[in-house]
Structure 1
């Protein structure tokens, strides 16, 4: 199976919206605008693409606590398509990025990182923009390798 990892750098178009599943797992959703500038016949052209981002577990909670509209962020995740029914009962399709890693862009800003405690239990227990080296959350991936943040020497 092909890998569909995508990395985007852009500005938040809205504050993250944090919701919780019936099981108590956090999920944050927000949008980012990714701009591109290029020249055609000596004239600059601008193109903006908009993406919906979904972040699960502790990473989603951290994103909601950290990010606000307009902040420049880096998102790495998987491009996913899902189907749902709108309020009128019509079938719709959404394409979104299911985030594996999220962080602030430091190109034109500085950041202060505050580590959060690691969740107990194995697997994908959460990660985050503020959490440093925690695993990403949201799905049952199994077999993911998360190296220690301790130096080997």
Structure 2
């Protein structure tokens, strides 16, 4: 969306992500990232931490992704992460009745920083690709990518219609050159390129051919 402020922040989680369901049934996760600047102190030959930015973050589950749930199941306090999202400002009423405003990061993408850690990624597949119903989808029995009659004779994994199946497609035949085609002659023919030597271009016949 035009006019939004997109930022990328690298820092550590100050607490475990908090997953909750709001009044309309949507699922949201809230957490805080602490991002500190570091400067090298030449007197001590060490890195000194500077000012720290504490940035409140939120992410939501949607019809297309389970980002909030994935964050709650994957990240925990102290982990170093890389997050990208949109800065948003919202107002709320505090317990004392006063109106307050807060700026937070609406996270679009987030993951662990791998500079000093390792991670194992488990990919999630949606129901549209797994093909839960007979006759449609990615891994079903009736049609789709995994089938029986298909491209090259062996089945991709599946049932009756798919990408690699029982009936193989014939291999394409290279077209033959017409009889009158001068390029169809053998390399030994006087009209072929393979017979040219340096003598054909005015050079010494003892010189090696091109």
TM-score calculated relative to the size of structure 1? 0.71
> SS of 1:24's equivalent?
coil
SS in structure 2 of the partner of residue 88 of structure 1: coil
> SS of 2:119's equivalent?
coil
CA separation of 1:8/1:79 partners in 2, compared to 1, >3 Å: closer, same or farther? same
Q: Distance in 2 between matches of 1:18 and 1:92?
A: 23
The Cα of 1:23 is off from its aligned counterpart by: 3.3
> Is 1:59 the counterpart of 2:63 in the alignment?
no
Kindly name which structure, 1 or 2, has the bigger radius of gyration based on alpha carbons: 2
Residue number among 49, 52, 65 corresponding to 1:48 in the alignment: 52
* Aligned partner of residue 37 in structure 1, secondary structure: strand
In structure 2, the CA distance between the partners of 1:3 and 1:92, relative to structure 1 (3 Å rule), is closer
2:18 pairs with 1:17: yes
Cα separation, partners in 2 of 1:38 and 1:119, compared to 1, 3 Å: farther
Alpha-carbon RMSD across the aligned residues, in angstroms, is: 2.0
Structure 1: 5+ residue stretches without partners: 121-153
Which position in structure 1 is the counterpart of 2:103?
95
Spell out the pairing of 1:1-153 with structure 2 (5 A cutoff).
1-38=2-39, 44=48, 46-57=50-61, 58-118=66-126
Q: Provide the aligned length of Structure 1 versus Structure 2.
A: 120
Question: How big is the shift at 1:117?
Answer: 2.7
Question: What TM-score, normalized to structure 2?
Answer: 0.53
Q: Between Structure 1 and Structure 2, which shows a larger proportion of strand residues?
A: 1
Which segments of 5 or more consecutive residues in structure 2 lack a partner in the other structure? Answer: 129-210
Q: CA deviation at 1:116?
A: 1.8
Q: What residue number does 2:181 align with?
A: none
Q: Which residue of 2 aligns with 1:131?
A: none
Higher RCO structure, 1 or 2 (CA under 8 Å, sep 6+): 1
* Change in 2 beyond 3 A, CA 1:35/1:45: closer
- Runs of 4+ with >6 A deviation: 40-43
Cα displacement (A) at 1:47: 1.8
The verdict on how the C-alpha distance between 1:38 and 1:63 changes in structure 2, with shifts beyond 3 A counting, is same
